Structure 1
Amino acid sequence: MTSLLVLIPVSLGMGLVGLCAFFWAMRNDQFDDPDGNAWRVLIAEDRPKNNPIETEV
């Protein structure tokens, strides 16, 4: 029972921190365009490698 005296306030505190982080992210437009980055990864072209092909003699 004494462990509940520690676990309940700790879990409520962690939930409050998570809720504050979520509201901070909403206020600072962190979720403004979540699909844009996903499409940008698919559309972006890879850089060509600058390493010449080496042959062993």
Structure 2
Amino acid sequence: MSVIYLLLSLSILVAIVFFIAFIYSVKQGQYDDSYTPSVRMLFDDELVKEKPKKLTKD
């Protein structure tokens, strides 16, 4: 039974370490995308779809 407590506490400790590493990397800008905004303007026409015209009864 003591092995379960040991493994549980060890897994929680590892999860906390990974969470702190994730928060640190987000604050340092690791996941910032600097490439896509510069290329998005080149493909802007493909992303815009025309709205279908409404059919009205006269």
TM-score interval (norm. to shorter): 0.5 to 0.7
What's the Cα RMSD here? 1.8
Distance of aligned partners of 1:26 and 1:8 in 2 relative to their CA distance in 1, 3 Å threshold: same
Gaps of 5+ in 2: 37-58
Q: Count residues in correspondence.
A: 36
Gaps of 5+ in 1: 37-57
TM-score (norm 2): 0.55
User: Which residue pairs with 1:13 in the alignment?
Assistant: 13
The percentage of counterpart residues that share the same residue type is 25
TM-score (norm 1): 0.56
User: Deviation above 4 Å: which 4+ runs of structure 1?
Assistant: none
